[in-house]
Chains A and B, each alone.
Chain A
Amino acid sequence: MTQAEHERHFNDKIAKEIKIEPNDWMPDEYRQTLIRQISQHAHSEVVGMLPEGNWITRAPNLRRKAVLLAKVQDEAGHGLYLYSATETLGADREQTIDDLHTGKAKYSSIFNYPALTWADIGAIGWLVDGAAIMNQVALCRTSYGPYARAMVKICKEESFHQRQGYESLMKLCNGTPQQKAMAQDALNRFWWPALMMFGPNDAESTHSEQSIAWKIKRFTNDELRQSFVDATVPQAEILGLTIPDENLKWNEERGHYDFSEINWDEFWQVVKGNGPCNKERLAARIKAKEEGLWVREAANAFAKKRAMKKSA
């Protein structure tokens, strides 16, 4: 087939909602866009373990500890499914990870905010996983097969992440005034960063238009952000918490909540590496790779020994 025929065939599949699979012909830019997006997504799952992992030993009871451990373990799995998906596109897994460590690759800027109190762990589950789910449910219909399949599996696992966070906040909100104040404080600090998770406004989003045309993205950043706000406001009401936005108001005409403009300076500062925890997060990932080296070497040595025994 000629280049033009390949392209026509590819566009035809996209138009007919036929998934693109690893060995199919695809435009180079489609491949590169996917590698960038999926590896960023993988890095976010992995870096996302850090703020929560930090609280596993300090969870208030055994039930909460077991739940948090299970959630963090899920996130490690999500990282793996996504790194595997980048490999199907020809990306080298170690290289993708090294790109994170050198700062060349990005991850979701939400994880550059610290989890200061136990209530933050509830807020992260409710808001951060909630926002991630909004994004990931939409990605279950993305045009690249392995990415879509990873998303289906991830979404199945995510739903408990949000529920456990909400449940944990519910407990605090029904507790002492100090506990409720702690929950409100967590919401105050995580609300805006959670809205930033959907990325820049559509007008500012560089890759959006092409990604929508290729059906990599099914909804724009602003559409997803609006759905998240609409879904979350009533949940905050049930908790009895106040969303820190004085312009938040139901708009009868639009059938959506109106909300204030995001502080984009803060967003870009964090993306550029100047958030509260950027350096700490990268340092922790690099340390994990370096200090885990002996485990990988031991696994190799053990595999070799086992192979020798078998052949003997």
Chain B
Amino acid sequence: MSNSDWPLWEVFIRSKQGLNHKHVGSLRAPDATLALENARDVYTRRSEGISIWVVESAHIHATDIDQADAFFEPSDTKIYRHPTFYEVPDGVKHM
């Protein structure tokens, strides 16, 4: 028996109050409790976090990298969603 039977967990850390949890890496552990403890020991040895999420990698669904161009095309073609698209006279303030 080896620890390759253990599921892979993705680790997300909130570095301080007011910020998002951010993906920092992964590890293997037999369950969520041990995954959290291991994540504390390897990813927050220098006070890098105040909160940890662990998610089994198998539960993450991702967009298909090969379809990325088509998938994100609707937003790439709508430059009018950005403020720089609009012309405003030089003298206008607070806009």
Contact = CB atoms under 8 A, between A and B. Distances in A.
Interface of A: 1, 21, 23-25, 70, 73-74, 76-77, 80-81, 84, 87, 92-94, 149-150, 153, 157, 293, 296-297, 299-300, 302-303, 306-307
Contacts of B2: 94, 296
Interface bin, chain B: 20 to 34
26 contacts: A1-B66, A25-B65, A73-B45, A76-B42, A77-B41, A77-B42, A80-B27, A81-B42, A84-B25, A84-B27, A92-B4, A93-B28, A94-B4, A149-B25, A150-B25, A157-B45, A157-B46, A296-B3, A297-B1, A299-B29, A299-B30, A300-B1, A302-B30, A303-B31, A303-B33, A306-B31
B10 to A, nearest CB: 10
Contacts of B25: 81, 84, 149-150, 153
Contacts of A149: 25
Contacts of B8: 87
Q: State the main secondary structure of chain A at its contact with B.
A: helix
Contacts of A302: 30, 34
B95 interface: no
In the complex, the 4 A-B pairs of residues with the closest C-beta atoms, listed nearest first = A303-B30, A303-B31, A94-B4, A23-B65
A149 B28 CA distance: 19
Nearest to B57: A87
Contacts of B5: 300
A23 B6 CA distance: 22
Contacts of B4: 92-94
Contacts of B15: none
Given A87-B8, A306-B33, A74 B1 contact: no
Contacts of B6: 300
B22 to A, nearest CB: 11
A76 to B, nearest CB: 8
Contacts of B29: 299
Nearest to A78: B42
A39 to B, nearest CB: 15
A306 B27 CA distance: 20
A21 B34 CA distance: 28
Contact of B1 (A24, A296, A303): A296
Interface in B1-54: 1-6, 8, 24-31, 33-34, 41-42, 45-46
Nearest to A98: B2
